[in-house]
Amino acid sequence: MIRISLETLVIAGMTGLISGCHASIWGMYKDALHEGFRLGAFTRSIIIGVIVAVIIEIWLNLPLPDPRALILLFGLSYATERGIVEVWKTFVRREDQSKYFIPMQFSIRGVPVTSFATRLAAGSAYVAAVAGLLLVVQKLNDSASTLSHTGRAALGGMAVGVLLAIGGAWKDAPKEGFQIVKFFRSPAMTVFYACLIAQLTADHLLIAAAAIGYERATAETYKTFFFPSRSRGKFNGKPVLWPGVLVTRRYFVPVYISICASVIVCAAAAL
């Protein structure tokens, strides 16, 4: 059995810090043009990333700093942080939605639900559905299955990818229309990453969860940095209120590239 040491927890915390920083930078890169740079919003993902990474390490006792463990922890931390933040923003946070083209608050057919109690009920149902799906995915660990390990990983990746796609379509389609390519983008990426992560662990629950993290990191990197002049969907058509951010945000790009490069190098070593 691997003993958890202070060194291991520090490494876990640094991994969470890196994953949270990755999410913070792409979030700031376009949002700050419309909302301004807010230190609290920027550091939120970083702080949550550190906390969840340490908790995950205490729970799983991963053999850090082994590259395989680092890659798995990065994906798990990313997915957990994104899940916490998105559930909070969608179902709990009270915020004026008029500044958005696509409401960030839980909506029905593009109309934000104003009742806090209704949002909490919907949020509880959503969290329960996610937990239920992950429990089903965990059943894929049954070695009696006729599918190969990679096949079961792909199935789990498909399940969580479809869940992401449904959530995205629920939010975006009323304003942007249903886009079939966009809908299947998430399942395709989660299947791809699940097949890769399957080489690192035999636990299909961890594989599916980490695949969510890497899908989010990849999709947001693509949308943010491959189309830097295009506003994020939620601000489509909204004016740029903080043009100075166009200059200051450039200083974060080298950090972002360094994080991406480090993950790729670590993944190469792990695989």
Taking only the tens place, the pLDDT of each residue in 241-263 is 999 999 999 999 999 999 999 99
Phi, psi dihedral angles at 93 (to 5 degrees): -60, 140
pTM: 0.94
Q: What percent of the chain has pLDDT over 70?
A: 98
Model confidence over 190-229: pLDDT tens digits?
Answer: 999 999 999 999 999 999 999 999 999 999 999 999 888 7
| pLDDT value of position 125 | 94
Q: What is the distance between the alpha carbons of residues 214 and 42, in angstroms, rounded to a whole number?
A: 20
Model confidence over 24-47: pLDDT tens digits?
Answer: 999 999 899 999 999 999 999 999
Q: Is the pLDDT reported for residue 2 higher than 60?
A: no
Q: Mean pLDDT across the chain, nearest whole number?
A: 93
Q: What is the distance between the alpha carbons of residues 256 and 24, in angstroms, rounded to a whole number?
A: 10
* Domain residue ranges of the chain, discontinuous segments joined by +: 6-270
Q: Which candidate, 27, 18, 73, places its Cα nearest to that of 46?
A: 18
Q: Is the pLDDT reported for residue 1 higher than 60?
A: no
User: 9 falls in which pLDDT band (50, 70, 90)?
Assistant: very high
